[in-house]
Structure formats: structure tokens, C-alpha cells
Chain A
Amino acid sequence: MLQEEVRLNSSFASRRGFWLFPLLVVGAGLLATALAAELTAGVPYREVLLGLHFSFLFYGLFTGGLAFFGSDFLERIFGHYALVTSLPETQPLSYRRVMGIFFSKELLFYALFTFAPLTLGALLGTSWSFIAPERMLRLIASLLPSFCAGLAGAFLVASLYRRSLYAAVAGGGTLLLMLGALLAGDGLPQLAWYLDGSPPLPLGWGLALLPALAAALLVGEFHEQALPPVQGYREQYRETLVSSEWSRRWAVPAVVAKERLDLQRSRTGIKMVFSFAVPLMMLVFVNWFLDRGLPLEVEFNTIFWGVMVGFFGTMLYSWLNTMDDSSFYATLPLQVPDLVRARLVLFGTVTWWIPALFMGLIALLSRELRLLPLAIFVMVAVGLYIVSYTAWITGLRTNSSLYDATIFARFFLVSVPPMVLLAILSMALEQALPVVMVALSFTCLVLLLATQLFYGRIEHRWAGEEFD
């Protein structure tokens, strides 16, 4: 399985891009350690550590989530993929055993791929930091169980989801309650071990591994349905085609109609909502962390959230690219840009309800409904900018392309500066309203002009490329 994981990940991007990732982690570990004093100035020590443990818990959840959607994702991107996890279908192996091995492989892979280079970078960084190397080693040893807990939690939810959605929701809720109880009590055992040497580290590991054990025990056996269910109705495609005719100016309506049905029937919309909720929750956590830790109060208003939600538009486009294997299009008089444009049309129309819904909720909860129209304008400008750039540089392979360190670096350079500028402007809104409004509008206008430029280049970049 380890061999399979390495080959699979290196097939997402170029081999060079794949092996550059640990180097990036070494650099990040080095910088974070060297700048630790500046980064954490004014924040209580315990809060910093808690934040770190939560970050690794979320990282574990995220990687576990990838494994959760993994087979669907691979099948839809590349067609059928025979992975070792499908062995129980043909060999005398139980799903329970395969799940246990799969979890161990994930833990080992990320320990080698992320934690080993992180440790190396952090140890190098201690030369310029107040943190002693042996304390750094102890800290990383305490972070690994937090990552493991996130990974195991995701596996448990995935395992329960195979039984039913309700079981998954109940399992996820129970895990959150357990985490809450831990925090309300003595805190995370691994964090306490790092700080005071007690309780022993194996207790942290035991608690972290418990959900993984439950996942393997509860996974159950699966059998395909004997008779596949009927979906949709006889005239559905033709009706969808008629109602997609308006898009003819930008895309091929027949393709837009097909993609709309894919979106509906693959239930990608539900995954989109979840993928929006997780990073937004992380931002809420960061907000809470800054509010508690920093001496000055940083207030994130609705405009700020508009910038963030617009930025997450990349995820929507990325999900649209995972709905189905697109190789069938190669048999028709169509080219890759036709499909990219159809998905951009879908992003700009059908999936906008997701960010709009989140924006409405944020404005309502922050009691800033007066800022909602401007926030939506900012969200639309940022969303169109970032998604058209994503479409230009990644085409139909957004997820896998962003694994390539060189493409990721370009994406970072184009996306982060305008986001930071808009975020700063949003925070200065109350100080100089007219000036900030003009600056926000001007920045959004520039982003929209850049959108036009990126959109125009899609044809040239992808016209000769293959669908599969």
C-alpha cells in the first residue's frame, strides 16, 4: 500500500513536483521555528501550543477526508482504478483487516512525508530560535498523536457513513463531544505530557487510536445492489438542454446540460457544502484564537468573510472537476476548453448558492446585513478572479495539479497578495469608510479585468490537450 500511495501521489503531479513537497515542508518548519518568537509575541504559551495541536488535528481530518472520498475521486478523474483496498472483493480478506492496514499505511506515509521533513526543518530552525532542539523533538512527538486523532476521526466517520448517513453524523457528533469534554477537563493528554511530563504519552496515543480501532470494527461488509435504482426521468436531459441554451455565448449547451445532471446525480453539491464548512470553521477558530491571544482586538467583518468565501470558490471548481471521468468527450468533436468553460458556467451560476448561503448566514450572525451587498460584490469579484486563474493553470486537473509545487507556488503568488490587500481594506472599513470603499471597488475592478485576461487564455493553454 505504501508503494501504491507514493506512485499514486507522484502520478497526480510531476515526480519533481511530488518530491519538492517535503522540501517545502522542511522550509516551512525552519521558518516557523526561526520566527517562533515574533509569530507568537503577546500570545500565551499554552494558547500557542493548543493552536498547534488543533492545526495538526485538522490536518489529520483533512488527509483522512481525502481517503474518505479517495476512491470516488480517483474513479471519476481517471476511470476505474484498482487499488489494494478493493482486494476484499476478490480475495479472502475482510474489509475490517484492510481498513486497519490502510489506516496504518496513512499514518506511516504522512509521518514520513510530512513529519520527518518538518522535524528536520524545525531542528535546523532551532539554531536561530529560543527553542532547544530536545524540546522541539518532544513537541513534534506530542503533535503526532494529535494528527493521528484527526486521521482516526475521519476514518471512523467514513466507516460509519458506509452504514448510513445518520450513523456518520452521530459518530462525528460523539467525537466532537469527546473532544469538548477533554478540553473542558484536563486538556489534551499529549499536550500535558509535553508541558509537565504527565500523563504519559501512550495515553494520548491510546485515545487517538481509539476511533481508528472503532472504524475497523464497525466497517462491515458490502455488497452491490442487485438491481440499480432508476434515476431522473425520461425527458430530463432534453429539458436541461433547453434550459441551458442561454449559455451558448460562453459554452456548448449540450455539455453544460450534461455537467448539470452530473452535479445533481453525483451529489457533489453536498460535498461542496462540507468542503466549505470545514475551512470556514478553521477561520472561525483562528478568529477566536486571535481574539483570545492578541492584546489588540481584530474584528473580521462581513467584507473580510466575502474575500475568504470568494477565495474558496477554487474548491467549488475543483469539485466540479471530480464529478466524472471526462474521457468520453474525446470521442466527440470537442476540446478541453469546451469542458473547462462549461464548468466555469456551472460555477458562475448553479453552484453560487453555496457561497451566497454562507455569506447570508455570516452577515446575519454578525448583524451586518447592511454590508451584505458589498460583501457579495467582493465575493463575486474574488471568486471569478481566483477560479478563472485556477481554470487557466490547472484545466481539468485542479486537485492533482495543485500537488505540483511549481503550480502551487504560482497559484500562491497570484492569489495571496490581492486577498491580503482586500482583507486589510476590509478591516480598515470603519476607520475611513469612503476611502476604503473606493479602494475596495478599484481592487475588485482590477480583479475583474484580470479575470477577463485569464479566461481569454484558457483556449490557448488547453486547446491541444488530452481529456484523459
Chain B
Amino acid sequence: MLGPNGAGKTTLLKVLTGQIRATSGEAEVLGLPVAQQPLEVRSRAGIVPEQSTPPSFLTPREVLELVVAVRGCEVDVEWWLEFFKFEEAEGRICRTLSRGQRQKVLLAAAFIAQPEVLFLDEPFINLDPLVQAKVRDWLGKYVAGGGTVFLNTHMLENAERLCNRAAIIHRGRIRSLIELEQLRSQGTTLEALFHEMVA
């Protein structure tokens, strides 16, 4: 999902994950009506919100343990701590971590339960290039394994590398929904399409 600032990307993601109610229309995720069954949707989805922070007074390890306990899944917390290299943050509460580290905690909290669908709002923000590459690789494997990723981003380069389909939203309306394969075959780029739709 691409769009300029204030286009409605985050609002749409919040509607799709049952965090806010739509003023009109209906939303369905995995065949479930979001407004009626928000808990079912959230139990099958992983969410990385934009401009959010993990719990201030828990350490990264404890945040993941909280997620595992709430979702009732059995997964290896250690694997994720190692994946995002949280060794140095061991025993340090999220409030004292850098923005990049906090973003990694949010990503790990969304990925850990291996949900059927991931809703990611600007997931690469504040991440260094090495971690960005690592997350991109993991998402590729996740999609190859049958998972779905719904990605909100400004970073057109990441969208080109990661996505099969792209939608452009402007002033609350979807202006274009296109397969990236089709776009390439037309000899154009996502950036050109974005400028055409939004300018």
C-alpha cells in the first residue's frame, strides 16, 4: 500500500486489524468480518503499527514472552532474540532502547507467532541496512511458505523488491491496484506510476 503522507494508509491498516472502526463499508480479512470478529482477526495476524513503541517497562525477552503467553503458542523465544541480536539489550527495558532496537522488538513480536498474515506499517523505519536486508529475506521465506504480507510503505525501492501487488491510495481512495510483474512488462516503474497517480 503506497501513498503520500495523510493518504489513509495507516487508517486502512487499523481498520483491517480491528484497531478502529470503519465509518462506512465493510472489511474482511482471511474471510472474517473485521468489525464483528476483531479478536479472531488479530489472533491470526501479526501487526507492526506505525509510530508505536513496545511496552516501556519490559525487556525485549519479556515482550516476546508476553506475546507468546497471550497468543498461547509454543515457539522458541531464543531464536528470535538471536535473529535480531538482542544480546546487548538483555535486562534492559524497552524504554531505554534506541528507536531502531524498539522497532526490532515490534517486528519480532509480530513475527514470533508465525501468523497467517502480517500487517506491517513502515516496518523498515529506523532499521540499519543490514537488519533491513535480514528482514526482507525472512519475509521472502515467510511468503514462500504460504504467508501473506500487507505492507504500508513510503520506500518504493523496498516495495519493488518485496511485493507482488501494489495499491496506491490518495485522499482515502485506492487509485491504482496493479501486479508488479505487469508493471515491469509495460516498461514502467512503481515510482513513475506513483507520480502519475498522486501528482
Binding site for B on A (CB under 8 A): 76, 79-80, 225, 228-234, 236-238, 241, 252-255, 257-258, 261-262, 265-266, 323-325, 327-328, 330-335, 464, 466-467
Contacts and interface: CB of A to CB of B under 8 A. Distances in A.
A331 B47 contact: yes
B62 A332 contact: no
A464 B21 contact: yes
A328 B19 contact: no
Nearest to B56: A324
Contacts of B40: 333
Contact of B55 (A229, A324, A330): A324
A237 B69 CA distance: 11
Interface string B41-64: 011001111011111111101100
Nearest to A244: B69
Contact of A332 (B56, B67, B92): B67
B91 A231 contact: yes
B54 A330 contact: no
Given A261-B57, A333-B43, A79 B91 contact: no
Contact of B66 (A225, A233, A234, A254): A254
B19 A466 contact: yes
Contacts of B191: none
B90 interface: yes
Interface in B117-131: none
Contacts of A79: 51-53
Given A79-B52, A333-B43, A253 B69 contact: yes
Given A76-B56, A229-B96, A230-B92, 13 more contacts: A231-B57, A233-B91, A257-B69, A262-B58, A265-B57, A265-B93, A323-B57, A328-B55, A331-B42, A331-B46, A331-B49, A331-B52, A334-B70
29 contacts: A79-B51, A79-B52, A225-B96, A228-B92, A230-B90, A230-B92, A231-B91, A232-B62, A237-B66, A238-B65, A254-B66, A254-B69, A254-B70, A255-B70, A257-B69, A261-B62, A262-B56, A265-B93, A266-B57, A323-B57, A325-B53, A328-B52, A331-B49, A331-B52, A332-B71, A333-B70, A333-B71, A334-B70, A335-B39
Contacts of A241: 65, 69
Interface of B: 17, 19-21, 38-40, 42-43, 46-49, 51-59, 61-62, 65-67, 69-71, 90-93, 96-97, 106, 109-110
A328 B65 contact: no
A333 B92 contact: no
- Looking at A233, A255, A258, the one whose CB has the most chain B CB atoms below 10 A away is A258
Contacts of A255: 70
A104 B67 CA distance: 46
A335 B40 CA distance: 11
Contacts of A233: 91
A232 B71 contact: no
A233 B93 CA distance: 11
Contacts of B53: 79-80, 325, 327-328
- Looking at B53, B67, B106, the one whose CB has the most chain A CB atoms below 10 A away is B53
B49 A231 contact: no
A313 B9 CA distance: 42
A427 B136 CA distance: 71
Contacts of A466: 19-20
A257 B54 CA distance: 16
A101 to B, nearest CB: 28
Given A232-B59, A467-B19, A333 B52 contact: no
A325 B70 contact: no
